[in-house]
Chains A and B, each alone.
Chain A
């Protein structure tokens, strides 16, 4: 906060006067102080307490992003052929370059977090009601811009995650009916993810999005000043557009306090501690990425999006495939439209959360969903564990006391990549059910059928396993039941195919 000192104290020593003279000259010629003073000291309701610090913190982190971003701009080479090496150079050679990247990366997450807290607070307190509708609407677009900045920033890291992350973005764009191809080409700057893609995202991240964001932040602040900071909601004091302005003006005039320094001190304390915390976190955790060269031919990779987008990553793998295109393309539009229309549709009435239980419920539901989806996206239990088959040993208990054919089955469990999707002894993929007690659920016939024909989201292995391998696998799986629990349908003998039948069958 750049404040100047427009006061002219009556008596000062010659030294103080010499220092003050240029300041006073500057103030006389520019009028900045006179311009800022009413802004800084405008009256705010005394009830505006700690709930109101999140907007300032978002702005503080945005300023930090601009400062560190400009510095990174002096170091970064937006060229797909050497962006990666350039980042490694910034991390390892440029003095404090690693800290610059760490702060910029973690501050991006912090800005998203503060913005969400700010938005939730405004939503819960219904601050968006008359006359602050447009403030909220501008805020919704600022929210989208912040997320867009986070995504484009992740792309500039130009590592494996960035490369395949854009691929996901392109695949989503491609699902747009009719215009999909066109939109995708615009996004990528060409027919493939290439150098022009990085240049496009660089222009977006460094010029277009920050420019629009700054303009909208300015508009947001102008609107906040124009309508004043809202009071804490009180039960039984609904907003009535006809009388709200007058009563607000009267209350603020009577009992309001100047923003500077009365309200600003809380902002200062909160922002200061958050800034300090962020620097500490950034130093502790270090710069984010780059993770692996952006080599399209190195497909031994496991791309994951950054934290703010993990929930989307989780969402698109948990919804039914048939609903995907709708959820990816229509739902965001509906959500944004709903948020934009919210203050128009409901610009009066009670503001207190206790009188708006459904809104509170909505926030709780949204927070729970996003939280769970983020967690699921982090864990991604739906993803096969690509190296489980060769790296996770069969639990020793499942090897002991098994016959030769059953041990062959235990090898096939590994060798046919079953464990990429199925757990044994708590280790392995979580896409399919754990196999530790599979014999209590499936009989021999069902096991063979399931292995050969698949089903229930499992591929059929009939073409990749011989009948002898299927038999060994089924015989091993039949031993997979707790000692005190019988198999679901114990076969009469451990050899379902009599040897002579198998021989004559060939």
Chain B
């Protein structure tokens, strides 16, 4: 009667000991961890990891339906050359897109302090492979050109005002909206729209786009020029009197 529990206990301990030997002298996972380094930025997985920890917050988990511009847009990739995307990621765009490299104006966030242009180039190449079209577009494709503001006003009245009229939630002539957005941002918004939100890209000609951008840029309030769009600026003071 004393033997059976003893046998039971001994067999249990034998099981544990055997499984220890089965695991081997090395810890569980050590071999696999050593064999498989974390995916680098030259792999799709590495770029996906970079995206989900650094870009997904504004541009959406899958490159669309985020607060900021969708990047799963083939038209966008067909227009934007790598160098321009790299520069935007590195130093940001206006105050709404932060820079992610050590060159970033205003100083980089500590996690990106060592992120150089070489790494960003790898990321951009990976994103183009994921969402874009092969082959890089000409550098001139995405350059902002300001046309004639007066002509732009009539183009705006004909092509945009029906939806984007002032006083509506969709207004794009709101001085607050214009104060937050750079000319480049305005240009992108007119050219590409938000296809992920059902707001299609424009059908305007490049000249008309330039005119409309000039028209909108001219409406930007004077107090919101360069300084407010500069990410390095610590911005305006906090005072009650600027509040309505």
Binding site for B on A (CB under 8 A): 91-92, 94-99, 102, 272, 276, 279-280, 283, 286-287, 299-300, 387-394, 396, 399-400, 402-408, 410-415, 419, 445, 448-449, 452-453, 460-469, 471-472, 475, 493-497, 499, 501-503, 505-506
Contact = CB atoms under 8 A, between A and B. Distances in A.
Interface in B174-224: 174-177, 179-181, 189, 197, 221-224
A391 B111 CA distance: 13
B9 interface: yes
B27 A98 contact: yes
A411 B58 contact: yes
Given A92-B30, A98-B30, A393-B66, A468 B179 contact: yes
A283 B23 contact: yes
Contacts of B238: 452-453, 460-463
A92 B170 CA distance: 60
B171 A462 contact: no
A469 B95 contact: yes
20 contacts: A276-B13, A299-B110, A390-B55, A393-B60, A394-B60, A394-B66, A396-B60, A399-B66, A399-B197, A402-B169, A403-B169, A403-B170, A404-B171, A404-B174, A408-B96, A466-B224, A466-B235, A467-B236, A499-B174, A503-B175
Nearest to B31: A92
B153 interface: no
Contacts of A390: 53-58
Given A102-B27, A466-B179, A467-B243, 7 more contacts: A95-B25, A99-B20, A286-B27, A393-B61, A402-B169, A404-B170, A503-B222
Nearest to A275: B13
B158 interface: no
B60 A300 contact: no
A97 B25 CA distance: 7
Ranked 4 nearest A-B pairs via Cβ:
A462-B238, A98-B27, A506-B223, A410-B67
B159 interface: no
Given A300-B111, A464-B234, A403 B168 contact: yes
A91 B223 contact: no
A427 to B, nearest CB: 10
B43 to A, nearest CB: 19
Given A390-B57, A412-B96, A495-B171, A462 B239 contact: yes
Contact of B56 (A279, A391, A406, A467): A391
Interface in B116-136: none
B38 interface: no
Given A392-B57, A393-B60, A414-B67, A280 B16 contact: yes
B26 interface: yes
Contacts of A91: 27, 30
A502 B53 contact: no
B34 interface: yes
A506 to B, nearest CB: 3
B58 A403 contact: no
A415 B58 contact: yes
Interface residues of B, number: 66
B95 A406 contact: no
A471 B175 CA distance: 10
Task: Identify which of B13, B171, B176 gathers the most chain A CB atoms within 10 Å of its CB.
Answer: B176
B9 A393 contact: no
A412 B181 CA distance: 12
Nearest to A94: B25
Interface of B: 9, 12-13, 16, 19-20, 23, 25-30, 34, 52-58, 60-61, 65-68, 95-98, 110-111, 164, 166-177, 179-181, 189, 197, 221-224, 228, 234-240, 242-244
Contacts of A412: 96
Task: Identify which of A272, A287, A469 gathers the most chain B CB atoms within 10 Å of its CB.
Answer: A469
A230 to B, nearest CB: 28
Contacts of B13: 276
Task: Identify which of A286, A394, A448 gathers the most chain B CB atoms within 10 Å of its CB.
Answer: A394
A58 B170 CA distance: 69
Nearest to B194: A407
Contact of B237 (A95, A387, A462): A462
A96 B223 CA distance: 69
A494 B169 contact: yes
Contact of A506 (B29, B166, B181, B221): B221
Contacts of A94: 25
Contacts of A393: 56-58, 60-61, 65-66
Given A92-B26, A415-B96, A506-B222, A468 B176 contact: yes
A389 B228 CA distance: 22
A92 B30 CA distance: 7
A300 B110 CA distance: 7
Contact of A471 (B57, B95, B176): B176
Contact of A505 (B23, B172, B228, B242): B242
A280 B13 CA distance: 10
Given A394-B67, A419-B57, A468-B224, A283 B16 contact: yes
A11 B239 CA distance: 102
Contacts of A496: 244
A64 to B, nearest CB: 15
B197 A391 contact: no
A469 B61 contact: no
A372 B52 CA distance: 32
Nearest to A467: B242
B180 A468 contact: yes
Given A404-B177, A506-B223, A276 B16 contact: yes
Contact of B180 (A272, A387, A413, A469): A469
A411 B173 CA distance: 19
Contacts of A406: 169
Task: Identify which of B57, B97, B172 gathers the most chain A CB atoms within 10 Å of its CB.
Answer: B57
A96 B53 CA distance: 36
A493 B174 contact: no
Nearest to A476: B67
Contacts of A419: 57
B81 to A, nearest CB: 24
Given A287-B27, A393-B61, A453-B238, A468 B175 contact: yes
A503 B221 CA distance: 6
